[in-house]
Structures are given as structure tokens and as C-alpha cells.
């Protein structure tokens, strides 16, 4: 699942994974699991993150390789946040069974909508969990909700500019595939979910 910050990838990936009976796999979850498990990859990721650097392609590819090898991913999965580069996309192609299609869905949302959404987004100061709109405290730990430092309007516009620049080659890498779909993310969540489900069904049907 592709899309810029604020497109709703995490929420929609979770809904789609639940409806399909497969795991939602996000890079954030993968990193946290690997670090907590103390695997070789997790230790490498911890070292990189603690130094303030970005996780490189090779480390991310190995983390995803390990996660996709777990039993719960045998019947399929929803990827959120991976791949982010063409190198990662090519590695994902190598990891997958040629007999099973890779459905790529790009959630498209206008920049003004993204800035507005992200400006109102809140996270828990204690655990970092994204908050459901309307809540006044974290549903997981009861902690206070605050705005992320990188969700300010000026910073967000720069993040979106960088996202558009860095991911354009990735979108183009997938666009010509018959399994590529795009959906309008500038709708209420239920409408986006319906369009996503239809997009996936148009490639692989309703099989689970």
C-alpha cells in the first residue's frame, strides 16, 4: 500500500488486513518487533536509529524478509510502509512467489487535505501510538495526546515534497503493472475502504 503521510495507509491497511484475514505488516511494527526480539537485524536497526540515521535499504530488506517468512504470512499480507525505494521493490519481487500476484494500491490525496489532516493528528506522549480522532487520552495507555513535532504545516509541506520526489520512481516502477491500482483517498474512511476492497478484488477476487 503506497501513499503520502496522512493518506490513511495505516488505518486502511488494518481494515483491509482484517477483512482478508491476513496480517498487516508495517515497517514500524517490524522494526519494533526486531529490536524487542534482539535479533541480529534488530540490533543493527537499534544501532542505526540511536545514531540518528535512516534505516538503509539492505537492513530494511532483511527485516522484511524475516517477517514474511513467519507462518502467519503464508496466506498473504498487507504491507504498509514497504517498499519505499525501487531497490526495496525489486527485493520484494525476489522474495515473493511468482504464482501469487502483488497488488499495489496507491492512495491519492491532495496536498491541502494532507496538511489539514496531519495538523489535527495527535499521538500519545508516553507510548507514541497514533490517537483516534476525538479522543482526549491514549486508548492504549491513557497517556496525554500531543501533536508530533513533524506535523506542523511548514514541516509537513517539506515532508510531502520530499515524499513526492523520492517515491515518484517507485510509483512509476509499479504503474505499468496490471496489478497496480490507485484510489481516491480524499473521502470518508468507509468510502476509501470500499474502494480499496474493490481494487484488490479486481485483481485477486474475493479469495482469502
- Catalytic positions, please? 9, 84, 121, 148, 159
40, 65 Cβ separation under 8 angstroms? no
Terminal-residue alpha carbon distance, the chain: 18
Cα Rg, the chain, nearest whole Å? 17
138, 124 Cβ separation under 8 angstroms? yes
Name the nearest CA neighbour of 61 among 87, 29, 100, 34.
87
Amino acid at each position: 500500500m503506497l501513499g503520502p503521510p496522512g493518506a490513511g495507509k495505516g488505518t486502511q491497511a488494518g481494515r483491509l488486513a482484517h477483512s482478508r484475514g491476513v496480517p498487516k505488516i508495517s515497517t514500524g511494527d517490524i522494526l519494533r518487533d526486531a529490536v524487542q526480539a534482539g535479533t541480529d537485524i534488530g540490533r543493527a536497526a537499534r544501532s542505526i536509529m540511536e545514531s540518528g540515521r535512516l534505516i538503509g535499504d539492505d537492513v530494511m530488506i532483511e527485516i522484511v524478509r524475516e517477517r514474511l517468512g513467519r507462518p502467519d504470512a503464508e496466506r498473504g499480507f498487507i504491507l504498509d510502509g514497504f517498499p519505499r525505494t525501487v531497490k526495496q521493490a525489486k527485493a520484494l519481487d525476489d522474495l515473493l512467489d511468482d504464482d501469487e500476484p502483488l497488488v499495489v494500491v496507491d492512495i491519492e490525496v491532495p496536498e491541502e487535505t494532507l496538511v489539514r489532516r496531519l495538523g489535527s493528528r495527535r499521538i500519545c506522549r508516553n507510548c507514541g501510538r497514533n490517537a483516534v480522532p476525538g479522543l482526549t487520552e491514549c486508548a492504549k495507555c491513557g497517556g496525554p495526546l500531543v501533536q508530533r513535532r513533524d506535523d506542523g504545516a511548514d514541516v509537513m509541506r517539506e515532508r510531502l515534497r520530499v515524499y513526492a520526489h523520492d517515491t515518484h520512481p517507485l510509483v512509476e516502477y509499479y504503474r505499468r503493472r496490471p496489478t497496480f491500482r490507485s484510489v481516491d483517498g480524499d473521502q470518508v474512511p468507509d468510502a476509501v475502504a470500499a474502494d480499496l476492497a474493490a481494487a484488490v478484488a479486481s485483481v485477486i477476487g474475493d479469495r482469502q
